[in-house]
Amino acid sequence: MSGYRPTDEAGAGLLFLREEQIRLAQTMMFLAGRDMAEAVSPILEDHGIGRAHYRVLQVLAFSPRIPVSRLQDILGVTKQSLGRTLGEMQERGYLESESCLRDRRQKLLRLSKAGQTVEAELFAAAKHRLMGAYREAGGAAVEGFRRVMWGMLSESSRALVADEGTARKKGRHGA
């Protein structure tokens, strides 16, 4: 398999749809995910939490006040697995919940101040990695990356990203 070189021009030879290039992209995505996970691992260890907790923190940071059932859908986990994770996070004081006004049986979750603090530490590590990569790649490459990532998202994931963008514009998250 031929390797990627940072000096290669985008679309050089227009052979980016060849199987070897797709396999290279798949490998790079796997390694990037692994490396991002390694970047936050020391922080997770410091707080005595795992990757399941991290995923909940991430989702609640970009989508506060969501029902537990929606969180379960986004994470793609079983009710039992999510219940264990949420229970541990509740014990640590990372979560707050309130009843939904439309349906009192539904609990809406958000991060507590303690949860926001831990999530901010984790985000800072991820942000550092992303900013370095973005600076190295440049604006056009970053836009290309976003387009590729958008193209890989399912319709439900696209809706989640679009909903989040709308919520931020309306100031729902205090941003």
From first to last of the 175 residues of the chain, give the pLDDT tens digit. 455 555 555 555 566 778 888 899 999 999 999 999 999 999 999 999 999 999 999 999 999 999 999 999 999 999 999 999 999 999 999 999 887 666 667 789 999 999 999 999 999 999 999 999 999 999 999 999 999 999 999 998 898 888 766 655 554 443 3
DSSP state of 98: E
Cα(84)–Cα(86) distance, rounded to whole angstroms? 6
154 φ/ψ angles, rounded to the nearest 5 degrees: -70, 170
Reported pTM:
0.80
DSSP string computed for 15-52: -TTSHHHHHHHHHHHHHHHHHHHHHHHHHHHHHT--HH
DSSP state of 12: G
